[in-house]
Amino acid sequence: MQIEKDGYPNPEKQGNFGGCLFTVVLLFIFLGFFPLFNSPSKTEVPYSQFRSQIREGKVGEVIVGKNKVEYFLKTDLEKAKKSQSGKITRPEQVYVTVPLPEDQTLPKLLEDNNVKFGVRPNGSGGNWIFAALGWFIPPLLFFLIIGWFASRVQSGGGSNPLDATKSKARVYLGDANGAITFADVAGIDEAKAELQEVVDFLKNPDRYTQIGAKIPKGVLLVGPPGTGKTLLAKAVAGEAGVPFINVSGSEFIEMFVGVGAARVRDMFEQAKQLSPCILFIDELDAIGKSRSDGGVFASSNEEREQTLNQMLTQMDGFEANTGIIIIAATNRPEILDQALLRPGRFDRQVVVDRPDKLGRLAILQVHTRQIQLQENIDLSLIAARTPGFAGADLANLVNEAALLAARNHREAVTIADFNEALERVIAGLEKKSRVLNETERKIVAYHECGHAIVGALVSGQVEKISIIPRGVGALGYTLQLPQEDRFLMLEGELRGRITTLLGGRSAEEVVFGQVSTGASDDIQKATDLAEQAVTVYGMSQKLGPIAMEKPQSSFLGSPNARRSVSSIVAAAIDREVKEIIENAHHQAILILKTNRDLLEEMTQHLLEQEVLEGEELHSYLNRVKAP
């Protein structure tokens, strides 16, 4: 466990030791290679040439080895003697050749030509320094490395290898928590009310022990990403004024089996010493995944399973009312092991869901405390235009608006900055460098006007049309923002949304008689909606209210998995999906043909201005006629 503190290595100790290590290694390298710098140059010659030079009287000395013969010419020997004033030295040039195997005539040939010769003993002639280094360097380097690690640990600059089993949890004491309280958390009033009991227990434990009540040991926060689960856990510690211990589930899992379990034990021991405290485990599913979902490979990851078993044991080992509250967070509660969720462990689950309109307004008020806003900004309007946004999304929206205001040298954030920030978050950044030719601009303009006309009639209010490219691959966009939160969708509304998605492609067919590739994303979304209507929502008259898919995740929005169905049922699903898409496509074409003149007028206006919004857009859409 790491308590936030200053700890730095001693640069003097490390510098002295590192310098000594470098000097020693450099010295041995120099000693090993120095003889090579002064060694004579060697020239390889054929064995036949060597014998010819002996017969011609050119060879002065010969040294016969096991696998090679080295020799000096008489002229080189005479030059070496003259240059050194009587000192006996070796010539700078030596010749090397490889003798023929089993050649017994060489000694007689050397004697007949009065050549001095000798035999080099086996294993000699190499560099003795290298032989010594082969025995001396490995143990020397071993002890030097051990000493370097020891000096790092003593000076505080490195981690001790023996500390691998220590918990990596971070402890925030007092002001280190940043004084986060429930006043800094908005939009999740139900979750705050559930956790208020935990705060009250940490502040006044006697009130509960007197009557014999036991506070839950574990609280599991579940919800989509960005809804404020970690912030809520910090706020509990801040409200109660107790230490906050933070660790991620992935920090327990290591390559070596048993390390994670040891870290769990160490973390709980440290938590008992800091009691009362909040022990927060983020991403609990990293170690708490169900042990029964692995099939044949269920026991392949022994490290994760042992860590989970140790977590279960430690939670059972708590004495009653010790003042340690475990709060965990996950986006995937459906995959957690049931042993974690039984009474006595994480027996209280708190859903931290996306906020409603009032919740979003409260979150915007929290995040705009330090932001200079223009006086006429109505945050409730922004909250109404952001359904489905989580707390992190709203924080990002406020920050983007503030950045835009600062970039434009404004002293306060305006409603225009918020509108532009909202479009950035939804559709992406403007791609002004992406220049379309005239034909492409016309296709995109008709496409977007088709979405707007069909959408205004069958699926709700349209806020803006643009043919300015944004994001990745979006050459234009039609912005529809609901004015209220909706938690249910009627069958007619779902089919209307599919019709709106096909409005752009239908406009291309009506005007140009052919379609482009620009509708690929619309077709994908429409097909997904139609398939969900049949397989998830049971909106098919022929198949009835039968679920054909298994939900994969409640909060991550991952695609569902198709159940095992017969080929006959699969074919029936495909026919139903195709029928829904064709009916929507037919309806979109009828709407556009009925409003063909309006389509032309809107498109020409859009080509001139590139953007249609506000009253100007609504004046066109109010003229849309039903077929």
Contact 99, 106 (CB under 8 A): yes
Strand duo 170-172 + 2-3: pairing: parallel
Q: How do beta strands 69-73 and 59-64 pair?
A: antiparallel
290, with CB counted inside 10 A (0-12, 13-18, 19+), is middle
| DSSP for residue 121 | P
3 state DSSP class of 195: helix
Backbone angles phi, psi at 305, to 5 degrees: -70, -40
DSSP letter (8 states) at residue 319:
P
In the chain, count H helices and then E strands.
23, 17
Specify the DSSP class assigned to residue 330. E
User: Which one is catalytic: 239, 251, 283, 448?
Assistant: 448
Cis peptide bond N-terminal to 99, omega within 30? no
Give which of 7, 214, 60, 26 is closest to 137, Cα–Cα: 26
> Would the CA dihedral through 390, 394, 395, 399 be positive or negative?
positive
> How far is it, in rounded angstroms, from Cα 341 to Cα 462?
45
Q: Is 549 a catalytic residue?
A: no
What tokens appear for 185 in the block? 């958390």
232 burial type by CB count under 10 A (0-12 exposed, 13-18 middle, 19+ buried) = buried
Name, in order, each residue with C-beta under 8 angstroms of 39's C-beta and a sequence gap of 6 or more.
none
Give 459's Cβ-side CA count (13 Å radius). Answer: 27
What residues does 349 pair with on adjacent strands?
220
Query: Alpha carbon of 583 to those of 99, 502, 526, 578, 599: distances in Å?
Result: 94, 11, 12, 9, 21
Under DSSP, the state recorded for 563 is P
Length of the chain: 627
> Phi and psi (nearest 5°) for 172?
-115, 120
Distance in angstroms (rounded) separating the CA atoms of residues 8 and 121? 58
Q: 480-496 burial, b for 16+ CB within 10 Å, e for fewer?
A: beeeebeeeeeeeebbb
What letter does residue 182 receive in the DSSP assignment?
G
Q: Which of 463, 375, 362 is nearest to 419 (CA)?
A: 463
Sign of dihedral through CA atoms 502, 506, 507, 508? positive
Strands 170-172 and 611-613: unpaired
Using CA atoms, how far residue 543 sits from 540, 550, 567, in Å, is 5, 17, 14
Q: H-type helices in 8-125, by residue range?
A: 11-38, 47-55, 74-83, 106-112
Cα–Cα distance, 606 to 462 (Å, whole number): 15
User: What is the C-alpha to C-alpha distance for residues 190 and 351, in angstroms, rounded to an integer?
Assistant: 9
Token code pair at residue 168:
């990596």
Distance (Å, whole) CA 165 – CA 153? 16
Catalytic residues: 448
